[in-house]
Structure 1
Amino acid sequence: MPHSTQPAIIVIGGAEDKVHGREILHKFLERSGGPEARIAIIPSASREPALIGARYRELFEDMGAKAIQVIDVREREQANDPLWQAYIQECTGVFMTGGDQLRLCAILADTPIMDQVHARVQRHEITLAGTSAGAAVMGYHMIAGGGSGKSPNRALVDMATGFGFLPNAIVDQHFHNRNRMARLISAISMHPECLGIGIDEDTCIIVEPDHSLQAMGNGVVTIVDATELSHTNQAQIGTTDPISIHNCRLHLLGHGDRYHLDRRQLIPSS
């Protein structure tokens, strides 16, 4: 299969360009089959799912997708709908919109529709994209909310369980735009085995089946790697006390930079 149409996981930091070049949305469509793409839009994170679903439908129609279906699940029982399940089985791309990641997980976790998405992603049959809240749910450990602009501390971040498409990563979005570095470091101090990935607005990572990724967009992707952590006081301090972390590795990936999730190494430019 040509690389340009090979299924991937695309994790978007939010506020992706919907007006001008639409590079990130075009990349999702391309990886979903281009003019043959059959897109499922999941707006369940939004409090206005009909409105945001219609917006993305219009965008993908304008970009030339072959078929588009908005999977407007607002109650868990709706995820049993056989027509929607049938469409998930035949689509080539799934796009999860922004909103509230806790809402998205509460509605769709462990439902037939999300189980089908999981199975098809694991078999590399579809491209999966998520923006903003749809990006936050990609890890098994999920940042559900929290503050910004303070020193890292345990009270700065609320954790929950995500969908686990990237099980060894913790994703934060709108990253530098909302000053969320301390929040991500606070999360990584609780789960140092996970890789922290902070994604700026109008920026994404494209994760290949071999677990290599490439940054794309107008911002940067921040990688926080605590693999060689030598010390943290996280377990001994109060919830609002500053966290200390020693020997934590940091990478900033600009457009085109590549990194391997499993090897935790930058991939040199060819």
Structure 2
Amino acid sequence: MQTRKLYLLGGNTSQEEANIHFANAAGGRNAHIALLIVYREGWQAFLARYTSNWIAQGVPEENISVIVPDEAGNLDTEKAANSIKNATGIFIGGGHSETYYALYTQLPFKQLLKEKYRAGTPLAGNSAGALILPETVLLSPHDTDNQQAWSGPGLGLLQNQLISVHFSQWQDEPNLIAGLIQHDIPFGYGIDENACLYLENEQPTASFGNEQVKRIEKGTHS
């Protein structure tokens, strides 16, 4: 049975150690990586932040498929689905979390991503991409258009835990604790911008980067 590999990056998508590990897990020189992002003006200029470490590990640039909607928010779903189906590694980027949620936690992506992950395709998410991976998504007041905490059903790759990103930078521990209490979830992970939590078969296995990953229990008080 394939080992399920999950990378949760806390905000800095260019983290070298995490991206090298991910690229090699995806197959290195033989990797085909699907990069899922959302539209922002000049998005092409930001691609190297994702891809430079992969390419340095031998991943051919032509084997990186960028899935991105157009300026109006339209996405070629069939083309995107084929890229995901053929991928040996999947990376969900960062940016406007509410847009990522609206786009990639819906069908067909929800089912496709779950199937690929369960079959052993390494899956990574940075910031917004990490936030949408659990069964329950928790967005910080720092991360929503109306500055209010928000939660909803996510991709469901992680059960009974919450994820918080930009954790120290946003001083987000009170929001994470409130989410644990509200949803009666036993624990969560706060991931700093320059940190990555790596899980195998949904169990924390390593952390990468020079900042902190902090486990927070429901009974914790700031």
TM-score bin, normalised by smaller chain: 0.7 to 0.9
Question: Of 39, 58, 68, which residue of structure 2 is paired with 1:64?
Answer: 58
Aligned residue-pair number? 215
Q: Secondary structure at 2:140's aligned position in 1?
A: strand
Question: Of 92, 101, 105, which residue of structure 1 is paired with 2:101?
Answer: 105
Hey, what does 2:75 align to over in structure 1? 78
Cα distance, 1:211 vs structure 2? 2.6
- Structure 2 distance, partners of 1:143, 1:42, is 20
- Amino acid corresponding to residue 185 of structure 2 in structure 1: E
- Structure 2 distance, partners of 1:158, 1:56, is 27
Cα distance, 1:143 vs structure 2? 1.9
* Structure with the greater alpha carbon radius of gyration: 1
- Amino acid corresponding to residue 140 of structure 2 in structure 1: G
- Structure 1 distance, partners of 2:25, 2:73, is 29
Hey, what does 2:180 align to over in structure 1? 188
TM-score normalised by structure 1 residue count: 0.70
- Amino acid corresponding to residue 211 of structure 2 in structure 1: G
Hey, what does 1:47 align to over in structure 2? 40
Classify 1:213/1:58 alpha carbon distance in 2 versus 1 (closer, same or farther; 3 Å).
closer
1:88 aligns to 2:62 (yes or no): no
Q: Which moved more, 1:214-223 or 1:49-58?
A: 49-58
Classify 1:147/1:14 alpha carbon distance in 2 versus 1 (closer, same or farther; 3 Å).
closer
Hey, what does 1:11 align to over in structure 2? 8
- Structure 2 distance, partners of 1:186, 1:6, is 33
* Percentage identity across paired residues of the two chains: 25
Confirm or deny: 8 A CA contact 1:7 1:32 kept in the other structure.
no
Confirm or deny: 8 A CA contact 1:14 1:202 kept in the other structure.
yes
Cα distance, 1:111 vs structure 2? 2.4
Q: Secondary structure at 1:9's aligned position in 2?
A: strand
Cα distance, 1:116 vs structure 2? 1.3
1:169-206, Cα deviation, whole Å (9 max, x unpaired): 21111111221111111111102324211001111111
Question: Of 164, 187, 190, which residue of structure 1 is paired with 2:156?
Answer: 164
Confirm or deny: 8 A CA contact 2:13 2:50 kept in the other structure.
no
Cα distance, 1:145 vs structure 2? 3.0
Question: Of 113, 119, 125, which residue of structure 2 is paired with 1:117?
Answer: 113
1:129-180, Cα deviation, whole Å (9 max, x unpaired): 00111111122221223159xxxxxx96322332222132211111112211
1:205 aligns to 2:197 (yes or no): yes
Cα distance, 1:42 vs structure 2? 0.6
Confirm or deny: 8 A CA contact 1:10 1:207 kept in the other structure.
yes
- Amino acid corresponding to residue 135 of structure 2 in structure 1: Y
Cα distance, 1:47 vs structure 2? 2.5
- Amino acid corresponding to residue 11 of structure 2 in structure 1: G
Gaps of 5+ in 1: 149-154, 227-246, 251-270
Gaps of 5+ in 2: none
Q: Secondary structure at 2:75's aligned position in 1?
A: helix
Q: Which moved more, 1:197-206 or 1:115-124?
A: 115-124
Classify 1:41/1:197 alpha carbon distance in 2 versus 1 (closer, same or farther; 3 Å).
same
Confirm or deny: 8 A CA contact 1:100 1:133 kept in the other structure.
yes
Cα distance, 1:94 vs structure 2? 0.6
RMSD: 2.8
Q: Secondary structure at 2:155's aligned position in 1?
A: coil
- Structure 1 distance, partners of 2:76, 2:177, is 35
Classify 1:218/1:57 alpha carbon distance in 2 versus 1 (closer, same or farther; 3 Å).
closer
Cα distance, 1:96 vs structure 2? 0.9
